[in-house]
Each structure stands twice: as structure tokens, then as C-alpha cells.
Amino acid sequence: MKRHLISAADLSRGDALLILDTAEELASLADRPIKKLPTLRGRTVVNLFFEDSTRTRISFEAAAKRLSADVINFSAKGSSVAKGESLKDTALTLEAMGADAVIVRHSASGAPQRLAGWVRGTVVNAGDGSHEHPTQALLDSFTIRRRFGRSASSRAASAGPADGALDGLRVTIVGDVLHSRVARSNVLLLHTLGADVTLVAPPTLLPVAVGSWPCGVSYDFDSALPKSDVVMMLRVQQERMNAAYFPSVREYSRRYGLDTARMAQLPDQAIVMHPGPMNRGVEIAAEVADSARSTIVEQVANGVSVRMAVLYLLLGGAEGES
């Protein structure tokens, strides 16, 4: 594996499977009375969050602490950043403190890449603008693999289609793709793992360059449902919108929301995902979010195992390369 995790494109198929297999082993810790491992004892992990976050920050903090790392939580609010300190100055401060890993979330796309050039430690992208969120894509793939019984622990650990990947699974990602870093990372990683990905959204909520992405595109949600093993709903990110991308919330929900009637069109084994936070009643109905087909709570729990695996492999368990 490389020294940093900035993009899902940084991961080869082998790297991704190594993370998923390691997360599978670490997930067993959740059933133990003492959930800690001494693997990263003496290492310092900094959560550097310039954007508000609950799930991701707590998930990374829990992951680092379960590996016995020292954790420093840095929030832009109430810090020198609020007084005008630059990202580079903040990076140099962290470098002086001896941070071994920096988990960074930033509103500017590309910020983690710049940070990686300024610090000697490992940088993990926890979401940058509308660009990427690689660990979310990893935990989504981990969740899919567990639901479909594709974990390497229960299959032959050989190369090829039986290596615990997601070959042949049909994944439909629906909603605000334009502003979604989760969608970008998922398309890249799911393609690497062999899944067949289709994006469904109104034309106004698709990126201009979506034709170059390794996926299909559709504007018709209902036609995609019967052909989907996984439906991943995306939040409408109104806080990032500076124009009217659709006529009204009601119209959007009518055409691209997942309600019980639409869920009935899915194949029997299909699952429903959402990276959170959800807009209940907009992109997903409450009954769907709380149904047995929903993996939303599992995704949160799996996030800790996957982020433990990422930190373990980047800091403790594998030889890195620059």
C-alpha cells in the first residue's frame, strides 16, 4: 500500500481486498470484553476536521483508540484557523508535535493532497469538498461483501473472481452525484472490485465529466430498480448548492426518492444503503431506512472496523511506499 490514502484510485484490487480482509479480522474485536489491541501504542493520530462531522470523526477516533494510539482531535472552530492560520501553518504545527497520521476533512477539494506534501506522517482523506471520501467507499464495499457472503474467510483465498471481491454485483447509486464525494470514491472502488455500477440522477445533478467515469448513467430510477443488487441513496446536499438544480423537493422525491413502492420493485436479495446523514422523506422514506433491507446502521458499525484496518496497515502492519 502507498503511504497515504487520498483517493480510492490509490488502491489496487489487491490493496482494497487486503483492507477488507483485515477489517473482517478486526471486526471480531467488537464481540470481545476488551476491544483494544496494542498495535499502534505510542503512535499519535490527529483528527484534523475543518468541516463539521459526527460519524466520520467519532469513527476514526474509535478506530485509533481501539488500536491503542494517542488521539488528538483538532477542530477548526475555536482554533487558530478561525483567526486566519493557513492549512500549511497548521500542518507545520502538527509536524512539530510529531503526528504519525493526520485524518483530514476539508471543504476544499485537494486539501489532503497538499497536506501530504507538507508532513512526514501518513495522511488519510476523510472527505475533501466534492472530491472524494475513500474510507466511506471502503466501508460500503465491506458492508456489501458481508451482506452477500463474499468475505474471503468463507471463500477460497485465490486470485481471480473468487478472491472475495464484488465481481458481477449490480450497484445503483442514486441522487446528488454532482456534490457527492461518496459517489466518486464508490464508483472508483466498486469498479476496482469488479462491480457493475450505474449512476441515477437528474441531468443537473451529474458532473460534466461523468462520461469518463467507469460506470453507466441513467435518468430513470424505476427502470434501474429491478436490475439492482444494491441501491445506494445519496443525500441532497443543499448546503453545497448555489443554484436551483431541480424544481422542488417534492418533485425530486417523487422521481428519485426510494419509498416502499419502489423498494418492492427490487430483487428479493437486494439491499438499501445510505452514507448518512439522511434526509428522511426526501431521498429515502422512513419505512425504507428502518427496514430489514437497510444496511445504514451496519455501515456505521463497519466504519470502525474498516478505519482500524486502514490505520493498522498504513501505520503498523504493512511496509509503505512513498
pLDDT digits (tens, 9 = 90+) for 190-211: 999 999 999 999 999 999 999 9
Model confidence at 233: pLDDT above 90: yes
| Intra-chain end-to-end CA distance of the chain, in Å | 9
Which cell numbers in the block locate residue 270?
437486494
Give the mean model confidence (pLDDT) for residues 111-128.
95
In this predicted structure, what is the pLDDT of residue 156? 35
Give the mean model confidence (pLDDT) for residues 298-304.
95
Give the mean model confidence (pLDDT) for residues 243-255.
76
* Alpha helices, H only, the chain: 13-27, 55-66, 87-96, 111-116, 134-147, 181-192, 221-224, 249-256, 260-263, 286-289, 296-311
Give the mean model confidence (pLDDT) for residues 6-31.
94
Give the mean model confidence (pLDDT) for residues 257-268.
96
CA angle 106, 110, 112 (to 5 degrees): 60
